[in-house]
């Protein structure tokens, strides 16, 4: 059986400059504050509330392990808590550009996530009953992730 993907929505989140903790035994730790944004799509539409963050570990092999945590207020007022884990990597020169906040064409970067949703709103319980795939793009001052239900 082949998987079917359904486009759910696109997250566009504004981000602040990373806070770096320096290199440790597992790699370089960074926190990227999430300033807010929007999610728009056929099944999710709303506002990304300020106050979330993307917690990153840049491993010695150049792969970034990411875990973003943030809240969406959907247009009907329902709150959705998001934990979005994934991996981002590219050629060393492109990763260096990304880490400096410079633009890199998205086709040159592997950026995939697995968002998980939590909500108490019955009309959005479907979010807690499916698996999702995110296709990401890092820009200098924001992140865009297209989310698909499996």
- Per domain, the residue ranges of the chain are 6-149
How is domain 6-149 classified at the CATH fold level?
A: Porin (2.40.160)
Averaged pLDDT of the chain: 95
The per-residue pLDDT for range 20-61, each reduced to its tens digit, is 999 999 999 999 999 999 999 999 999 999 999 999 999 999
Q: Is the pLDDT of residue 95 over 90?
A: no
DSSP labels, the chain:
-----EEEEEEEEEE---EEEEEETTEEEEEEEEEEEEEESSS--EEEPTT-EEEEEE-TTSPEEEEEEEEEEETTS-EEEEEEEEEEEE-HHHHHHHHTT----GGGEEEEEEEEEE---GGGGGGGSS-EEEEEEE-SSEEEEEEEE-
Average pLDDT over residues 114-118: 98
pTM of the full predicted structure?
0.92
């Amino acid at each position: 059986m082949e998987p079917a993907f359904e486009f759910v929505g696109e997250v566009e989140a504004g981000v602040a400059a990373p806070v770096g903790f320096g290199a440790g035994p597992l790699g370089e730790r960074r926190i990227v504050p999430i300033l807010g944004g929007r999610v728009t799509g056929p099944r999710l539409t709303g506002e990304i509330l300020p106050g979330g963050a993307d917690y990153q570990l840049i491993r010695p092999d150049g792969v970034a392990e990411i875990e973003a945590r943030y809240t969406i207020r959907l247009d009907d007022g329902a709150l959705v808590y998001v934990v979005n884990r994934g991996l981002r990597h590219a050629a060393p020169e492109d990763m260096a550009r990304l880490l400096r906040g410079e633009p890199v064409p998205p086709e040159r970067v592997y950026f995939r996530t697995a968002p998980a949703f939590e909500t108490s709103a019955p009309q959005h319980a479907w979010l807690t009953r499916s698996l999702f795939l995110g296709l990401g793009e890092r820009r200098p001052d924001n992140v865009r992730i297209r989310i698909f239900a499996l």
